[in-house]
Amino acid sequence: MTMHSTSWKSKAADKRASTLSKIPPQWRLRPEDIERVARERDLTGLFIQQFLNAEEISIVSMDSLPLVDAIREGTLAAVQVTTAFCKTAAIAHQINNCLHEIFFDQSLERAAFLDDYYSKHNARIGPLHGLPVSLKNQLHVKGNHTTMGYIGWIGSNLGIKDPNEKHQVQRQIVSGEGALQALRGTALGLGTDIGGSVRIPAAFNSIFSLKLTPERIPYREVANTNPGQNTYRSTVGFRSTSLGGLELALKSVLSTQPWLRDPAVVPIPFRQEIVDEYLSRAKWDGTAKASGCALKLGIFWADGIVTPRPPITRGLHVVVDAVRNAGHKGVSWEPPNLTTAKGVHVSFLKADGAHDIHAQLDLSGEPLIPDLATAFGLKPPMGLLEYQDLTLQGLEYETQYSDYWNPTAEEDGECIVDAVIMPVAPHAAVIPGKYYHTACTEALNLLNYSAVVIPIAKADKNIDVFDDSYQPLNATDRLNWEGCRFHLWSALAVIQVASNADDPEIYDGAPIGVQLVERKFEEEKIWAIAKIVHASMRKEQ
Protein backbone atom coordinates (compact mmCIF):
# COMPACT_ATOMS: atom_id res chain seq x y z
CA MET A 1 0.00 0.00 0.00
CA THR A 2 1.46 3.38 -1.04
CA MET A 3 1.73 6.41 1.20
CA HIS A 4 -0.77 8.23 -1.06
CA SER A 5 -3.26 5.38 -0.77
CA THR A 6 -2.90 5.32 3.01
CA SER A 7 -3.41 9.07 3.10
CA TRP A 8 -6.72 9.23 1.24
CA LYS A 9 -8.12 6.23 3.08
CA SER A 10 -7.17 7.79 6.39
CA LYS A 11 -8.84 11.04 5.41
CA ALA A 12 -11.99 9.16 4.49
CA ALA A 13 -12.00 7.32 7.80
CA ASP A 14 -11.34 10.54 9.70
CA LYS A 15 -14.22 12.25 7.91
CA ARG A 16 -16.62 9.44 8.73
CA ALA A 17 -15.56 9.57 12.37
CA SER A 18 -15.89 13.34 12.43
CA THR A 19 -19.42 13.17 11.06
CA LEU A 20 -20.46 10.61 13.65
CA SER A 21 -18.89 12.64 16.42
CA LYS A 22 -21.36 15.45 15.75
CA ILE A 23 -24.28 13.24 16.79
CA PRO A 24 -25.15 13.99 20.45
CA PRO A 25 -24.78 11.06 22.88
CA GLN A 26 -28.51 11.01 23.62
CA TRP A 27 -29.22 10.31 19.93
CA ARG A 28 -26.67 7.52 19.56
CA LEU A 29 -27.94 4.01 18.88
CA ARG A 30 -26.74 1.02 20.84
CA PRO A 31 -24.42 -1.41 19.01
CA GLU A 32 -27.11 -4.11 19.16
CA ASP A 33 -29.59 -1.75 17.44
CA ILE A 34 -27.14 -1.07 14.63
CA GLU A 35 -26.50 -4.80 14.25
CA ARG A 36 -30.23 -5.37 13.75
CA VAL A 37 -30.15 -3.10 10.70
CA ALA A 38 -28.44 -5.83 8.69
CA ARG A 39 -31.41 -8.12 9.22
CA GLU A 40 -34.08 -5.57 8.31
CA ARG A 41 -35.60 -5.43 4.85
CA ASP A 42 -37.20 -2.01 5.30
CA LEU A 43 -35.67 0.71 7.48
CA THR A 44 -38.49 3.22 6.94
CA GLY A 45 -41.69 3.59 8.93
CA LEU A 46 -41.97 1.40 12.02
CA PHE A 47 -38.28 0.48 12.15
CA ILE A 48 -36.89 4.00 12.50
CA GLN A 49 -39.91 5.17 14.50
CA GLN A 50 -39.00 2.81 17.36
CA PHE A 51 -36.17 5.22 18.22
CA LEU A 52 -38.49 8.27 18.39
CA ASN A 53 -41.12 9.34 20.89
CA ALA A 54 -44.75 10.03 19.99
CA GLU A 55 -44.28 13.79 19.56
CA GLU A 56 -41.25 13.33 17.33
CA ILE A 57 -43.07 10.79 15.16
CA SER A 58 -46.00 13.18 14.81
CA ILE A 59 -43.75 16.06 13.75
CA VAL A 60 -41.56 14.23 11.24
CA SER A 61 -44.62 12.55 9.72
CA MET A 62 -45.97 15.96 8.73
CA ASP A 63 -45.31 17.39 5.28
CA SER A 64 -43.79 20.79 4.58
CA LEU A 65 -46.97 22.86 4.26
CA PRO A 66 -48.61 21.65 7.50
CA LEU A 67 -45.32 22.17 9.31
CA VAL A 68 -44.97 25.74 8.07
CA ASP A 69 -48.60 26.43 8.99
CA ALA A 70 -48.18 24.94 12.48
CA ILE A 71 -45.11 27.09 13.14
CA ARG A 72 -46.88 30.18 11.81
CA GLU A 73 -49.93 29.52 13.97
CA GLY A 74 -47.78 28.89 17.04
CA THR A 75 -48.95 25.32 17.63
CA LEU A 76 -45.38 24.14 17.05
CA ALA A 77 -42.16 25.97 17.85
CA ALA A 78 -39.28 26.01 15.40
CA VAL A 79 -37.04 24.43 18.06
CA GLN A 80 -39.52 21.58 18.53
CA VAL A 81 -39.63 20.88 14.80
CA THR A 82 -35.89 21.23 14.30
CA THR A 83 -35.06 18.96 17.24
CA ALA A 84 -37.36 16.22 15.93
CA PHE A 85 -35.88 16.33 12.44
CA CYS A 86 -32.29 16.57 13.66
CA LYS A 87 -32.75 13.54 15.90
CA THR A 88 -34.37 11.58 13.06
CA ALA A 89 -31.57 12.58 10.68
CA ALA A 90 -29.00 11.47 13.26
CA ILE A 91 -30.64 8.05 13.55
CA ALA A 92 -31.03 7.82 9.77
CA HIS A 93 -27.31 8.38 9.32
CA GLN A 94 -26.39 5.70 11.84
CA ILE A 95 -28.50 3.09 10.06
CA ASN A 96 -28.01 4.29 6.49
CA ASN A 97 -24.90 6.47 6.16
CA CYS A 98 -26.75 9.25 4.35
CA LEU A 99 -25.13 12.46 5.65
CA HIS A 100 -21.92 14.17 4.56
CA GLU A 101 -22.10 17.18 6.85
CA ILE A 102 -23.93 17.62 10.16
CA PHE A 103 -24.67 21.02 11.68
CA PHE A 104 -27.35 20.33 14.24
CA ASP A 105 -26.00 22.99 16.61
CA GLN A 106 -26.32 25.71 13.96
CA SER A 107 -29.81 24.54 13.07
CA LEU A 108 -31.03 24.61 16.67
CA GLU A 109 -29.42 28.00 17.26
CA ARG A 110 -31.21 29.40 14.22
CA ALA A 111 -34.51 27.81 15.28
CA ALA A 112 -34.23 29.45 18.71
CA PHE A 113 -33.60 32.80 17.03
CA LEU A 114 -36.70 32.34 14.85
CA ASP A 115 -38.87 31.47 17.85
CA ASP A 116 -37.62 34.53 19.70
CA TYR A 117 -38.26 36.74 16.66
CA TYR A 118 -41.78 35.35 16.29
CA SER A 119 -42.58 35.90 19.98
CA LYS A 120 -41.44 39.54 19.80
CA HIS A 121 -42.83 40.55 16.40
CA ASN A 122 -45.64 38.05 15.73
CA ALA A 123 -44.22 37.70 12.24
CA ARG A 124 -42.21 35.19 10.25
CA ILE A 125 -38.87 35.62 8.49
CA GLY A 126 -39.57 34.35 5.01
CA PRO A 127 -42.00 31.70 3.73
CA LEU A 128 -39.92 28.78 5.06
CA HIS A 129 -39.69 30.15 8.61
CA GLY A 130 -38.67 27.30 10.93
CA LEU A 131 -38.75 24.52 8.32
CA PRO A 132 -35.67 22.23 8.40
CA VAL A 133 -34.26 21.79 4.89
CA SER A 134 -31.58 19.40 3.65
CA LEU A 135 -29.07 20.23 0.93
CA LYS A 136 -27.08 18.16 -1.50
CA ASN A 137 -23.37 18.53 -0.83
CA GLN A 138 -22.89 20.93 -3.73
CA LEU A 139 -24.70 23.81 -2.04
CA HIS A 140 -22.48 25.83 0.26
CA VAL A 141 -23.33 26.32 3.93
CA LYS A 142 -21.27 28.82 5.89
CA GLY A 143 -18.75 27.18 8.17
CA ASN A 144 -19.14 23.71 6.66
CA HIS A 145 -17.27 21.75 4.01
CA THR A 146 -18.68 21.30 0.51
CA THR A 147 -17.09 18.15 -0.88
CA MET A 148 -19.23 16.61 -3.63
CA GLY A 149 -17.74 13.35 -2.38
CA TYR A 150 -14.15 14.25 -3.30
CA ILE A 151 -11.76 13.31 -0.52
CA GLY A 152 -9.43 16.01 -1.79
CA TRP A 153 -12.19 18.45 -0.84
CA ILE A 154 -12.13 16.97 2.72
CA GLY A 155 -15.04 14.61 1.96
CA SER A 156 -15.51 10.95 1.20
CA ASN A 157 -17.29 9.11 -1.62
CA LEU A 158 -19.52 6.60 0.14
CA GLY A 159 -22.34 4.49 -1.27
CA ILE A 160 -25.80 5.28 0.09
CA LYS A 161 -28.18 2.41 0.67
CA ASP A 162 -31.87 2.54 -0.18
CA PRO A 163 -33.62 2.42 3.21
CA ASN A 164 -36.74 0.90 1.69
CA GLU A 165 -34.91 -2.22 0.59
CA LYS A 166 -31.77 -3.53 2.22
CA HIS A 167 -31.10 -5.77 -0.78
CA GLN A 168 -30.68 -2.82 -3.13
CA VAL A 169 -28.54 0.30 -3.24
CA GLN A 170 -29.17 3.63 -4.90
CA ARG A 171 -26.87 5.58 -7.15
CA GLN A 172 -23.87 6.83 -5.23
CA ILE A 173 -23.31 10.43 -4.17
CA VAL A 174 -26.68 11.76 -5.37
CA SER A 175 -28.93 9.64 -3.25
CA GLY A 176 -28.19 10.51 0.38
CA GLU A 177 -30.97 13.07 0.53
CA GLY A 178 -33.47 10.68 -1.05
CA ALA A 179 -32.71 8.14 1.67
CA LEU A 180 -32.86 10.85 4.33
CA GLN A 181 -36.34 11.91 3.20
CA ALA A 182 -37.58 8.33 3.02
CA LEU A 183 -36.48 7.98 6.65
CA ARG A 184 -38.19 11.30 7.46
CA GLY A 185 -35.00 13.09 8.44
CA THR A 186 -36.13 16.04 6.33
CA ALA A 187 -39.38 17.12 4.68
CA LEU A 188 -37.85 19.28 1.95
CA GLY A 189 -34.51 19.19 0.18
CA LEU A 190 -32.53 20.80 -2.61
CA GLY A 191 -30.42 18.80 -5.03
CA THR A 192 -29.06 19.07 -8.54
CA ASP A 193 -29.86 17.18 -11.73
CA ILE A 194 -27.75 16.74 -14.85
CA GLY A 195 -28.68 13.14 -15.60
CA GLY A 196 -31.41 12.22 -13.15
CA SER A 197 -29.89 12.98 -9.75
CA VAL A 198 -33.03 14.68 -8.43
CA ARG A 199 -35.49 12.27 -10.03
CA ILE A 200 -33.89 8.84 -9.57
CA PRO A 201 -33.51 9.01 -5.76
CA ALA A 202 -37.12 10.24 -5.56
CA ALA A 203 -38.42 7.31 -7.60
CA PHE A 204 -36.34 4.85 -5.56
CA ASN A 205 -37.55 6.24 -2.21
CA SER A 206 -41.30 6.90 -2.64
CA ILE A 207 -40.95 10.68 -2.51
CA PHE A 208 -41.74 13.55 -4.88
CA SER A 209 -39.33 15.65 -6.91
CA LEU A 210 -39.29 18.57 -9.32
CA LYS A 211 -36.61 18.91 -11.98
CA LEU A 212 -36.55 22.45 -13.26
CA THR A 213 -35.34 23.82 -16.54
CA PRO A 214 -31.80 25.18 -16.11
CA GLU A 215 -31.78 28.94 -15.50
CA ARG A 216 -35.23 28.98 -13.84
CA ILE A 217 -33.62 29.32 -10.41
CA PRO A 218 -30.02 30.19 -9.44
CA TYR A 219 -27.04 27.91 -9.89
CA ARG A 220 -24.58 30.66 -9.08
CA GLU A 221 -21.62 29.47 -6.97
CA VAL A 222 -23.00 25.93 -6.71
CA ALA A 223 -20.05 23.53 -6.62
CA ASN A 224 -19.87 21.33 -9.69
CA THR A 225 -17.76 18.90 -11.64
CA ASN A 226 -16.56 20.22 -14.99
CA PRO A 227 -18.24 23.63 -14.54
CA GLY A 228 -16.96 24.83 -17.91
CA GLN A 229 -19.39 22.50 -19.73
CA ASN A 230 -22.15 25.04 -20.10
CA THR A 231 -23.98 23.84 -23.22
CA TYR A 232 -26.29 21.51 -21.31
CA ARG A 233 -26.32 22.72 -17.74
CA SER A 234 -27.06 21.05 -14.47
CA THR A 235 -30.09 22.42 -12.66
CA VAL A 236 -31.13 22.77 -9.04
CA GLY A 237 -34.25 20.81 -8.18
CA PHE A 238 -36.42 19.96 -5.19
CA ARG A 239 -37.36 16.76 -3.40
CA SER A 240 -40.15 16.55 -0.86
CA THR A 241 -42.39 14.14 0.98
CA SER A 242 -45.36 15.86 -0.70
CA LEU A 243 -46.34 17.72 -3.86
CA GLY A 244 -47.18 20.72 -1.68
CA GLY A 245 -43.57 20.86 -0.55
CA LEU A 246 -42.39 21.18 -4.16
CA GLU A 247 -44.73 24.11 -4.79
CA LEU A 248 -43.68 25.75 -1.53
CA ALA A 249 -40.01 25.48 -2.48
CA LEU A 250 -40.50 26.87 -5.99
CA LYS A 251 -42.67 29.74 -4.80
CA SER A 252 -40.23 30.59 -2.02
CA VAL A 253 -37.17 30.77 -4.26
CA LEU A 254 -38.92 32.73 -7.01
CA SER A 255 -40.38 35.18 -4.50
CA THR A 256 -36.84 36.48 -3.89
CA GLN A 257 -36.44 37.59 -7.55
CA PRO A 258 -33.34 35.41 -8.01
CA TRP A 259 -32.61 36.83 -11.47
CA LEU A 260 -31.32 39.95 -9.73
CA ARG A 261 -28.57 37.90 -8.02
CA ASP A 262 -27.79 35.39 -10.75
CA PRO A 263 -27.66 36.91 -14.25
CA ALA A 264 -28.17 33.46 -15.80
CA VAL A 265 -31.69 33.17 -14.33
CA VAL A 266 -34.57 33.97 -16.66
CA PRO A 267 -36.86 36.55 -14.98
CA ILE A 268 -40.02 34.44 -14.67
CA PRO A 269 -41.88 34.86 -11.36
CA PHE A 270 -44.15 32.12 -10.04
CA ARG A 271 -47.19 32.00 -12.33
CA GLN A 272 -50.19 31.18 -10.15
CA GLU A 273 -52.52 31.73 -13.09
CA ILE A 274 -51.07 28.70 -14.87
CA VAL A 275 -51.54 26.53 -11.79
CA ASP A 276 -55.13 27.74 -11.43
CA GLU A 277 -55.88 27.21 -15.13
CA TYR A 278 -54.85 23.56 -15.06
CA LEU A 279 -56.31 22.74 -11.67
CA SER A 280 -59.64 24.15 -12.89
CA ARG A 281 -59.83 21.32 -15.43
CA ALA A 282 -60.41 18.71 -12.73
CA LYS A 283 -62.24 18.27 -9.45
CA TRP A 284 -60.43 17.95 -6.13
CA ASP A 285 -60.21 14.16 -6.60
CA GLY A 286 -58.61 14.44 -10.06
CA THR A 287 -61.81 13.66 -11.98
CA ALA A 288 -62.10 15.64 -15.20
CA LYS A 289 -64.81 18.30 -15.14
CA ALA A 290 -67.62 17.76 -17.62
CA SER A 291 -67.50 21.43 -18.63
CA GLY A 292 -63.73 21.59 -19.04
CA CYS A 293 -61.03 20.17 -21.24
CA ALA A 294 -59.77 16.88 -19.80
CA LEU A 295 -56.04 16.31 -19.68
CA LYS A 296 -54.45 14.67 -22.70
CA LEU A 297 -51.38 12.70 -21.62
CA GLY A 298 -48.79 10.96 -23.74
CA ILE A 299 -47.96 7.47 -22.44
CA PHE A 300 -44.38 6.34 -22.97
CA TRP A 301 -44.15 2.62 -22.19
CA ALA A 302 -40.66 1.75 -23.45
CA ASP A 303 -38.02 3.07 -25.82
CA GLY A 304 -37.50 -0.09 -27.87
CA ILE A 305 -33.97 -0.45 -26.51
CA VAL A 306 -34.67 -1.65 -22.98
CA THR A 307 -37.94 -3.14 -21.72
CA PRO A 308 -38.85 -2.02 -18.18
CA ARG A 309 -39.00 -4.77 -15.59
CA PRO A 310 -42.40 -6.01 -14.39
CA PRO A 311 -42.78 -3.65 -11.37
CA ILE A 312 -42.18 -0.59 -13.55
CA THR A 313 -44.57 -1.68 -16.28
CA ARG A 314 -47.26 -2.35 -13.68
CA GLY A 315 -46.61 1.06 -12.13
CA LEU A 316 -47.24 2.71 -15.49
CA HIS A 317 -50.48 0.76 -15.86
CA VAL A 318 -51.59 1.86 -12.39
CA VAL A 319 -51.22 5.55 -13.17
CA VAL A 320 -52.59 5.28 -16.73
CA ASP A 321 -55.67 3.38 -15.56
CA ALA A 322 -56.24 5.94 -12.82
CA VAL A 323 -56.17 8.98 -15.12
CA ARG A 324 -58.33 7.28 -17.73
CA ASN A 325 -60.87 6.26 -15.09
CA ALA A 326 -60.87 9.89 -13.97
CA GLY A 327 -61.98 10.95 -17.45
CA HIS A 328 -58.65 12.05 -18.86
CA LYS A 329 -57.17 10.82 -22.13
CA GLY A 330 -54.00 8.79 -22.59
CA VAL A 331 -52.42 8.46 -26.03
CA SER A 332 -49.42 6.50 -27.23
CA TRP A 333 -46.14 8.42 -27.11
CA GLU A 334 -43.33 7.36 -29.45
CA PRO A 335 -40.92 10.31 -29.69
CA PRO A 336 -37.50 10.39 -31.36
CA ASN A 337 -35.18 7.73 -29.93
CA LEU A 338 -34.19 8.56 -26.36
CA THR A 339 -30.97 6.59 -26.69
CA THR A 340 -29.85 9.04 -29.36
CA ALA A 341 -30.41 11.89 -26.90
CA LYS A 342 -28.61 10.00 -24.14
CA GLY A 343 -25.60 9.44 -26.41
CA VAL A 344 -25.33 13.15 -27.21
CA HIS A 345 -25.82 14.13 -23.58
CA VAL A 346 -23.19 11.72 -22.25
CA SER A 347 -20.73 12.96 -24.88
CA PHE A 348 -21.11 16.49 -23.52
CA LEU A 349 -20.47 15.29 -19.97
CA LYS A 350 -17.28 13.55 -21.07
CA ALA A 351 -16.11 16.15 -23.60
CA ASP A 352 -13.17 17.24 -21.43
CA GLY A 353 -11.89 13.66 -21.34
CA ALA A 354 -12.69 13.53 -17.61
CA HIS A 355 -9.73 15.84 -16.88
CA ASP A 356 -11.67 17.88 -14.31
CA ILE A 357 -12.73 14.76 -12.39
CA HIS A 358 -9.19 13.41 -12.35
CA ALA A 359 -7.82 16.78 -11.23
CA GLN A 360 -10.07 16.59 -8.17
CA LEU A 361 -9.15 12.94 -7.53
CA ASP A 362 -5.46 13.80 -7.76
CA LEU A 363 -5.84 16.19 -4.84
CA SER A 364 -6.01 13.17 -2.55
CA GLY A 365 -4.83 10.29 -4.71
CA GLU A 366 -8.16 8.47 -4.46
CA PRO A 367 -9.00 6.30 -7.48
CA LEU A 368 -12.19 6.31 -9.50
CA ILE A 369 -14.71 3.89 -8.03
CA PRO A 370 -15.07 0.77 -10.23
CA ASP A 371 -18.50 1.81 -11.51
CA LEU A 372 -17.01 4.91 -13.15
CA ALA A 373 -13.59 3.62 -14.17
CA THR A 374 -14.58 2.84 -17.77
CA ALA A 375 -16.92 5.75 -18.45
CA PHE A 376 -14.67 8.37 -16.88
CA GLY A 377 -11.20 7.07 -17.57
CA LEU A 378 -8.77 9.81 -18.54
CA LYS A 379 -8.85 10.55 -22.30
CA PRO A 380 -7.85 13.38 -24.64
CA PRO A 381 -10.41 16.21 -24.61
CA MET A 382 -12.83 16.51 -27.51
CA GLY A 383 -11.71 18.86 -30.28
CA LEU A 384 -13.54 22.14 -30.91
CA LEU A 385 -15.01 21.14 -34.27
CA GLU A 386 -16.26 17.85 -32.85
CA TYR A 387 -17.79 19.72 -29.91
CA GLN A 388 -19.54 22.12 -32.25
CA ASP A 389 -20.91 19.22 -34.27
CA LEU A 390 -22.15 17.63 -31.06
CA THR A 391 -23.93 20.89 -30.23
CA LEU A 392 -25.71 20.76 -33.58
CA GLN A 393 -26.76 17.18 -32.88
CA GLY A 394 -28.27 18.27 -29.59
CA LEU A 395 -30.14 21.14 -31.20
CA GLU A 396 -31.42 18.83 -33.93
CA TYR A 397 -32.78 16.38 -31.37
CA GLU A 398 -34.55 19.21 -29.54
CA THR A 399 -36.15 20.27 -32.82
CA GLN A 400 -37.22 16.72 -33.69
CA TYR A 401 -38.83 16.21 -30.30
CA SER A 402 -40.67 19.53 -30.48
CA ASP A 403 -41.85 18.73 -34.01
CA TYR A 404 -43.19 15.40 -32.73
CA TRP A 405 -45.07 17.08 -29.87
CA ASN A 406 -46.63 20.01 -31.73
CA PRO A 407 -48.94 18.11 -34.14
CA THR A 408 -50.58 16.05 -31.38
CA ALA A 409 -53.63 18.36 -31.48
CA GLU A 410 -54.11 17.70 -35.18
CA GLU A 411 -54.05 13.91 -34.85
CA ASP A 412 -57.46 13.72 -33.18
CA GLY A 413 -58.73 17.27 -33.53
CA GLU A 414 -58.55 17.76 -29.76
CA CYS A 415 -56.12 19.46 -27.38
CA ILE A 416 -52.37 19.16 -27.75
CA VAL A 417 -50.74 16.63 -25.40
CA ASP A 418 -50.43 18.37 -22.03
CA ALA A 419 -47.68 16.20 -20.56
CA VAL A 420 -45.98 12.82 -20.87
CA ILE A 421 -46.01 9.95 -18.37
CA MET A 422 -42.88 7.80 -18.53
CA PRO A 423 -40.55 5.65 -16.40
CA VAL A 424 -37.74 7.21 -14.42
CA ALA A 425 -35.68 4.03 -14.76
CA PRO A 426 -36.42 0.59 -16.23
CA HIS A 427 -36.17 -0.97 -12.76
CA ALA A 428 -36.39 -0.24 -9.05
CA ALA A 429 -33.17 0.50 -7.16
CA VAL A 430 -30.18 -1.64 -8.11
CA ILE A 431 -26.69 -1.85 -6.68
CA PRO A 432 -23.89 0.27 -8.18
CA GLY A 433 -22.57 -1.17 -11.42
CA LYS A 434 -25.89 -2.70 -12.46
CA TYR A 435 -27.57 0.46 -13.77
CA TYR A 436 -27.25 0.14 -17.53
CA HIS A 437 -29.86 2.39 -19.12
CA THR A 438 -30.39 6.01 -18.11
CA ALA A 439 -32.01 7.27 -21.31
CA CYS A 440 -35.33 8.12 -19.64
CA THR A 441 -33.67 10.71 -17.43
CA GLU A 442 -30.74 11.90 -19.56
CA ALA A 443 -32.88 12.63 -22.62
CA LEU A 444 -34.81 15.18 -20.58
CA ASN A 445 -31.57 16.88 -19.55
CA LEU A 446 -30.64 17.24 -23.19
CA LEU A 447 -34.10 18.71 -23.86
CA ASN A 448 -33.94 20.89 -20.73
CA TYR A 449 -37.53 19.85 -19.95
CA SER A 450 -39.34 20.15 -16.62
CA ALA A 451 -40.38 16.97 -14.78
CA VAL A 452 -42.15 15.87 -11.61
CA VAL A 453 -41.64 12.44 -10.07
CA ILE A 454 -44.52 10.94 -8.10
CA PRO A 455 -44.54 7.67 -6.15
CA ILE A 456 -46.98 5.12 -7.57
CA ALA A 457 -46.85 1.83 -5.70
CA LYS A 458 -44.47 -0.82 -4.41
CA ALA A 459 -43.25 -3.93 -6.13
CA ASP A 460 -45.24 -7.04 -5.26
CA LYS A 461 -43.63 -10.47 -5.60
CA ASN A 462 -47.04 -12.06 -6.15
CA ILE A 463 -47.86 -9.81 -9.11
CA ASP A 464 -44.57 -8.70 -10.66
CA VAL A 465 -43.46 -12.10 -11.85
CA PHE A 466 -40.64 -12.54 -14.36
CA ASP A 467 -41.63 -14.00 -17.74
CA ASP A 468 -39.24 -16.89 -18.36
CA SER A 469 -39.99 -16.77 -22.09
CA TYR A 470 -38.85 -13.16 -22.47
CA GLN A 471 -36.20 -12.66 -25.15
CA PRO A 472 -34.02 -9.56 -24.62
CA LEU A 473 -34.10 -7.03 -27.43
CA ASN A 474 -30.33 -6.55 -27.48
CA ALA A 475 -27.21 -6.75 -25.33
CA THR A 476 -28.18 -3.71 -23.22
CA ASP A 477 -31.63 -5.11 -22.60
CA ARG A 478 -30.09 -8.41 -21.54
CA LEU A 479 -27.82 -6.60 -19.06
CA ASN A 480 -30.81 -4.69 -17.75
CA TRP A 481 -32.81 -7.85 -17.12
CA GLU A 482 -29.90 -9.68 -15.59
CA GLY A 483 -28.75 -6.70 -13.54
CA CYS A 484 -30.81 -7.51 -10.48
CA ARG A 485 -29.34 -10.98 -10.21
CA PHE A 486 -26.86 -9.33 -7.88
CA HIS A 487 -28.20 -7.72 -4.77
CA LEU A 488 -27.04 -6.73 -1.34
CA TRP A 489 -27.97 -9.27 1.28
CA SER A 490 -26.52 -7.56 4.33
CA ALA A 491 -25.08 -4.32 5.64
CA LEU A 492 -21.67 -5.74 4.80
CA ALA A 493 -22.62 -5.73 1.10
CA VAL A 494 -22.12 -9.44 0.66
CA ILE A 495 -23.18 -10.20 -2.92
CA GLN A 496 -25.59 -13.05 -3.40
CA VAL A 497 -26.93 -14.54 -6.62
CA ALA A 498 -30.67 -14.80 -7.05
CA SER A 499 -32.35 -17.75 -8.74
CA ASN A 500 -33.32 -15.94 -11.93
CA ALA A 501 -32.90 -12.67 -13.76
CA ASP A 502 -35.85 -10.95 -12.12
CA ASP A 503 -36.43 -12.76 -8.86
CA PRO A 504 -39.55 -11.04 -7.47
CA GLU A 505 -38.32 -11.65 -3.91
CA ILE A 506 -35.51 -9.14 -4.50
CA TYR A 507 -37.82 -6.32 -5.46
CA ASP A 508 -40.74 -7.12 -3.16
CA GLY A 509 -41.73 -3.86 -1.47
CA ALA A 510 -39.37 -1.70 -3.51
CA PRO A 511 -40.79 1.75 -4.38
CA ILE A 512 -42.05 2.45 -7.90
CA GLY A 513 -42.20 6.00 -9.25
CA VAL A 514 -42.90 7.60 -12.62
CA GLN A 515 -42.09 11.01 -14.04
CA LEU A 516 -44.50 13.49 -15.62
CA VAL A 517 -42.77 15.57 -18.26
CA GLU A 518 -43.42 19.00 -19.72
CA ARG A 519 -41.42 21.32 -21.95
CA LYS A 520 -39.00 24.10 -20.97
CA PHE A 521 -39.92 26.50 -18.17
CA GLU A 522 -43.28 24.81 -17.58
CA GLU A 523 -42.73 24.03 -13.89
CA GLU A 524 -46.08 25.44 -12.72
CA LYS A 525 -47.93 23.53 -15.43
CA ILE A 526 -46.30 20.16 -14.74
CA TRP A 527 -46.78 20.61 -10.99
CA ALA A 528 -50.52 21.24 -11.46
CA ILE A 529 -50.85 18.25 -13.81
CA ALA A 530 -48.98 16.08 -11.31
CA LYS A 531 -51.42 17.15 -8.61
CA ILE A 532 -54.38 16.08 -10.78
CA VAL A 533 -52.73 12.77 -11.68
CA HIS A 534 -51.81 12.04 -8.07
CA ALA A 535 -55.34 12.88 -6.90
CA SER A 536 -56.81 10.52 -9.48
CA MET A 537 -54.54 7.75 -8.22
CA ARG A 538 -55.54 8.33 -4.59
CA LYS A 539 -59.19 8.13 -5.66
CA GLU A 540 -58.51 4.67 -7.09
CA GLN A 541 -56.77 3.36 -3.98
pLDDT score of 506: 66
Please name the helix (run of DSSP H) or strand (run of DSSP E) that holds residue 280, with its range, or none.
none
The answer to whether residues 496 and 477 touch, using CB atoms and an 8 Å cutoff, is no
pLDDT score of 391: 96
pLDDT score of 451: 98
pLDDT in tens, 505-524: 667 788 999 999 999 999 99
Say if residue 416's pLDDT is above 90.
Answer: yes
| DSSP codes joined into one string, 281-321 | TB-TTSPBPTTS---EEEE----SSSPPPHHHHHHHHHHHH
Local confidence band at 483 (pLDDT 50, 70, 90 cut-offs): low
Cα separation of 48 and 185, whole Å?
A: 10
Q: How many other CB atoms are there within 10 angstroms of residue 430's CB atom? A: 28
Counting DSSP H helices and E strands in the chain, the numbers are 21, 11
Cα separation of 64 and 252, whole Å?
A: 12
pLDDT in tens, 271-301: 999 999 999 999 999 999 987 789 999 999 9
Cα separation of 231 and 219, whole Å?
A: 14
For 431-465, letters b (16+ CB in 10 Å) and e give: bbebbbbbbbbbbbbbbbbbbbbbbbbbbbeeebe
CATH number of the domain residue 336 falls in: 3.90.1300.10
The answer to whether residues 404 and 457 touch, using CB atoms and an 8 Å cutoff, is no
Give 210's strand partners: 238, 452
pLDDT in tens, 179-194: 899 999 998 999 999 9
| 482: containing domain | 3-540
Please name the helix (run of DSSP H) or strand (run of DSSP E) that holds residue 106, with its range, or none.
helix 104-121
pLDDT score of 528: 98
* Per-residue CA distances from 490 to 172, 193, 495 (Å): 17, 30, 8
Torsion of the alpha carbons at 91, 92, 97 and 98, rounded to the nearest 10 = -140
Cα separation of 182 and 241, whole Å?
A: 8
The mean pLDDT of 239-250, rounded to a whole number, is 97
Local confidence band at 503 (pLDDT 50, 70, 90 cut-offs): low
The mean pLDDT of 355-381, rounded to a whole number, is 90
Confidence (pTM): 0.90
The mean pLDDT of 240-250, rounded to a whole number, is 97
Domain count, the chain: 1
Cα separation of 177 and 189, whole Å?
A: 7
Local confidence band at 166 (pLDDT 50, 70, 90 cut-offs): very low
Say if residue 21's pLDDT is above 70.
Answer: yes
